[in-house]
Structure 1
Amino acid sequence: MADDTPCTTEDGRYLLINGRRWRATDPMLPEEVGRRLRRHLMAARREVGVALRAADEGAERRARRRVHAAKTALGERGTPWWEQSDEERRERWEAGLATLDEGDGA
């Protein structure tokens, strides 16, 4: 059976998937925070699909902003997590969760 675990760069900053580098999630994220952010991310990705099938450009833009907010809070976009202090990292995910929990980010 093949191992589906993605490879990472030696420094752990990137995942290597099908020859592409993708920024890894901030390893400092508490498990519960990461779980909540991934749930928001998956919901927003589903919203993108619904909007695309409905050809609703406004809904698509809102959903894509939610995807961006979740990925930024996870540390996968924006200032790289390895360039942020512990406090900046915590502020990033707390602000992202607050925005996404309130239904904003759109």
Structure 2
Amino acid sequence: MARTLTARFDTRRQAELAIEHLVQKHGVKREGVSAHPVGARNTVGTRIAGSDAPDAQVGTRERDDAALHGAVEVSVELSAAGGDALRKALTEVGARDLAEA
């Protein structure tokens, strides 16, 4: 029976980075990873990041329409030997609330 590791992220940017690390650095097949909102509403996380943050140009402002409706959860199927390395990879990019099922 396959095991699944899930982790929650405060921003979509962190979740996307986690997926790229899993796929590119750890050889996880892309179809073995999923990302989805925690809860029923669409969300980009719980705090501003990426394109919702102000840029470096003078006079630009923070957007106020970001869908901040909860954390983003990433789930990855675990192989028999890869669990510890994947946990570490997720934690390094900001994962919280890791759980295995």
**Normalization by structure 2: what TM-score?**
0.29
Q: Which has the higher strand share?
A: 2
Q: Which has the higher helix share?
A: 1
**Normalization by structure 1: what TM-score?**
0.28
Task: Identify which of structures 1 and 2 has the higher relative contact order when contacts are C-alpha pairs closer than 8 Å and 6+ apart.
Answer: 2
